Amino acid sequence: MNAPSDNYRHQGLRRRLVEVLRKRGVIDEAVLAAIGSVPRHLFIDDTAFLSMAYEDTAFPIPCGQTISQPYTVAIQSELLGLMPGHRVLEVGTGSGYQTAVLAHLGCKVFSVERHKPLYLQTKDRLARLGIRAALFHGDGYAGLPKEAPFDRIIVTCGAPEVPERLVEQLRTGGRMVIPVGEGEVQRMLLVHRDQQGALIRLDKGAFRFVPMLKDKAV
């Protein structure tokens, strides 16, 4: 395979995408810088969509899944209030684009994907791009108890409810962003575990995600 290429044209398109996200209300400069740096075109396999890699839209990826829309990636990252060094659990690795944004923000990322072909392909892709993240093939409902607790948890598929086992893996003072809802549209919930261990839930609006599936990893 050829070495991944990222040229001035791609960089220019990313700068434009960052301005689009700014206009849509993204304010976290570190998140915007990460979106401005991660080569999203290298996370899209279907050449039919390559020319649209820097449009603010979702695209199909293998196994019937989607690479999240840049606005969604930015908002989920912003809501998490990420700091370099945070241990972050991601459920739904997919293409690895959100994983790469988290890694660019200096987080130590642990990401779980239930589709084996996606897990394998993304592991290879991140390695080729020199992006460090610990990837796992498994069921995100179980989280990663061996790596817990996490400072932050991000779920990138629509869950029917907030999974109890993920809440258990959130550090006191930690935050989770998770789209919750069984239909085509979910509510983005920000779940905060306060110093007493109580959970505070905030509704951050409507988003669309592929579903978080309950059966075992495939």
Q: What is the DSSP letter of 7?
A: -
Do the Cβ atoms of 87 and 150 come closer than 8 Å?
Answer: yes
Q: Which stretch binds ligand SAH (CB under 6 A): 79-87, 136-144, 167-175, 186-194?
A: 136-144
Q: Does residue 5 carry a catalytic annotation?
A: no
Do the Cβ atoms of 44 and 100 come closer than 8 Å?
Answer: no
Q: Which of 41, 115, 152, 193 binds ligand SAH (CB under 6 A)?
A: 115
Cα 190 from Cα 170, distance rounded (Å): 13
SS (H, E, C) 23-34: HCCCCCHHHHHH
Owner of token pair 């695209």: 59
Half-sphere exposure of 200 (CA within 13 A, CB side): 10
Q: Which stretch binds ligand SAH (CB under 6 A): 49-57, 91-99, 165-173, 198-206?
A: 91-99
Q: Which stretch binds ligand SAH (CB under 6 A): 3-11, 124-132, 134-142, 188-196?
A: 134-142
Query: From residue 25 to residue 64, what is the string marking binding to ligand SAH with x (rule CB under 6 A)?
Result: ----------------------------------------
Whose Cβ is closer to ligand SAH: residue 160's or residue 173's?
160
Cα 172 from Cα 93, distance rounded (Å): 25
Residue 67 sits in the site that holds ligand SAH (CB under 6 A): yes
Whose Cβ is closer to ligand SAH: residue 147's or residue 198's?
147
Sequence-separated (6 or more) residues with CB below 8 Å from residue 20: 56
Whose Cβ is closer to ligand SAH: residue 140's or residue 181's?
140
Structure tokens at 167: 């809440």
Q: How far is the CB of 139 from ligand SAH (least distance, A)?
A: 5
Cα 70 from Cα 176, distance rounded (Å): 19
Q: Which of 17, 41, 65, 109 binds ligand SAH (CB under 6 A)?
A: 65
Residue 212 sits in the site that holds ligand SAH (CB under 6 A): yes
Count, residues near ligand SAH per rule CB under 6 A: 23
Given the residues 68, 77, 95, 111, select the one marked as catalytic. Answer: 68
Cα 69 from Cα 88, distance rounded (Å): 20
Do the Cβ atoms of 70 and 21 come closer than 8 Å?
Answer: yes
Q: Which of 44, 107, 125, 140 binds ligand SAH (CB under 6 A)?
A: 140
Ramachandran angles phi, psi of 87, nearest 5°: -90, 120
Catalytic positions are 68
Interaction site with ligand SAH (CB under 6 A)? 65-68, 91-92, 94-95, 97-98, 112-115, 118, 139-141, 156-157, 210, 212-213
